[in-house]
Amino acid sequence: MEIKITKTTTPKEMPSEDKLGFGKVFTDHMFVMDYETGKGWYDARIVPFGNISLHPASTVLHYGAEIFEGLKAYRRLDGGVQLFRPMENVKRMNNSAERMCLPLIDEKDGLEILKTFVKLEERWVPKSFGTSLYLRPFMFGNDESLGVHAVKRATFMLIASPSGSYYAEGINPVKIMIESEDVRTVRGGTGYAKCGGNYAASTRAGEKASKMGYSQVLWLDGVERKYIEEVGAMNVMFKIDGEIVTPLLTGSILPGITRKSCIEVLKAKGYKVSERLLSVDELVEALESGKLEEAWGCGTAAVVSPIGKLAYGDKEYVVGDGKIGEVTQDLYDTLTGIQWGKLADPYGWIERI
Ligand SMILES: *Cc1c(COP(=O)(O)O)cnc(C)c1O
């Protein structure tokens, strides 16, 4: 594909690496391309980062036709830059697009856009271990009319934000509340798609949990309000009596690339891993009998996030000894080792820029 590049004439200065935070600072450029039925994708371009202009009737503003992805560019110890399983993001974006009646992108083009953009913004990939250049591809429906139907026009964009280490203050286990009122999504709905609407619908429960002193909620399924699904915007895993259990992808769960990678690493290390239904009753029983040895969330932002305490109803339980567990730590070391190029990559997950 042809990508037209217009470079900025006023490059910005990158803030110091210990002050980056998450998603607040953006690089010099952004990628944009447009779509129209009959014409396909056109005008692939990299332009200076800036505001965009939308028609007030633009579909995304009224009917929420929006999907996104999240991945990182990592600085290796030897100075090189690399991506972690980027094709998985491209494929997932197409699955999300299919669900939301947005146009698909050619997979090869998707990867080329990511690589071309990261190459151009290379100086924005911070250097310290744990820091990264966070990449945010997104797409929205952009018909300029209020009719409700599959869109005829869409826009795909990619922006990037240098981000600080998620664990600048060390890996501290979090307190999680099991949510029994709000649900994130239902089977048949949009749970498996990475779409903005899922986030809008989850915000209220997250805010409630935060007011009560918890960092996130553990979601139950929307049909029976019984089976564990995810934790906040991360997938979730448990070690129960030696077995590693993660919820089966039933359609209402986002198929995380970190989840998939954790499963593959754990199996390679000889652990018994089960993707199955896990009821909240089974989880509470494991907590009460002391069989819940470890619990953690997993996703691109944190890699893994150990769960130290779980609240259900008016009871609060400590998971294991309340500290980061052995398996959680091992996963963190293995995945971050591969991502930041400290460890060899026996899986073929790395894509060098
Ligand atoms: C993005 C996301 C995840 C994690 O996916 P990764 O590919 O591992 O980053 C999990 N749950 C939800 C709801 C998400 O949006």
The whole-angstrom separation of Cα 70 and Cα 75 is 17
Instruction: Output the average pLDDT for the chain.
Output: 96
> Which of 165, 194, 214 marks a domain boundary?
165
Query: Measuring from atom 6 of ligand 1, which residue has the nearest CA?
Result: 256
Claim to verify: residue 77 and residue 25 sit in the same structural domain = yes
Tokens 């990559």 belong to residue = 345
Q: Are residues 207 and 270 in the same domain?
A: yes
Q: What is the signed CA dihedral for 265, 267, 269, 270, rounded to 10 degrees?
A: 170
178 and 159 in a common domain: no
pLDDT tens figures, 84-102: 999 999 999 999 999 999 9
* Residue 210 counted as domain residue: yes
Prediction pTM value = 0.97
Total number of domains constituting the chain: 2
Q: Which domain holds residue 26?
A: 4-165
For 151-179, write each residue's pLDDT tens digit: 999 999 999 999 999 898 889 999 999 99
Angle formed by the axes of helices 257-268 and 86-99, to 10°? 130
What CATH number is given to the structural domain containing 42? 3.30.470.10
The number of angstroms, rounded, from the C-alpha of 187 to the middle of its chain's C-alpha atoms is 20
Q: For residue 254, how far is its CA from the centre of ligand 1 (angstroms)?
A: 6
Residues 227, 332 within the same domain: yes
Taking the CA of residue 257 as reference, the ligand 1 atom at the shortest distance is 7
Ligand 1 contacts (CB < 6 A) are 70, 194, 230, 233-235, 254, 256-259, 299-300
Q: Work out the percent of the chain whose per-residue pLDDT is above 70.
A: 100
pLDDT tens for 311-348 read 999 999 999 999 999 999 999 999 999 999 999 999 99
Residue 8, burial from CB neighbour count under 10 angstroms (0-12, 13-18, 19+): middle
Residues 148 and 222 in one domain: no
Residue 303: pLDDT above 90? yes
**Are 103 and 205 members of one domain?**
no
- Whether residue 347 is contained in a domain is answered as no
H or E, element range at 240: strand 235-240
Closest atom of ligand 1 relative to the 258 alpha carbon: 8
Going from the Cα of 317 to the center of ligand 1, the distance in angstroms, rounded, reads 26
Residues 179, 114, single domain; the answer is no
CATH number for the domain harbouring residue 224? 3.20.10.10
Q: Which residue has the tokens 């599959």?
A: 150
Contact 345, 338 (CB under 8 A): yes
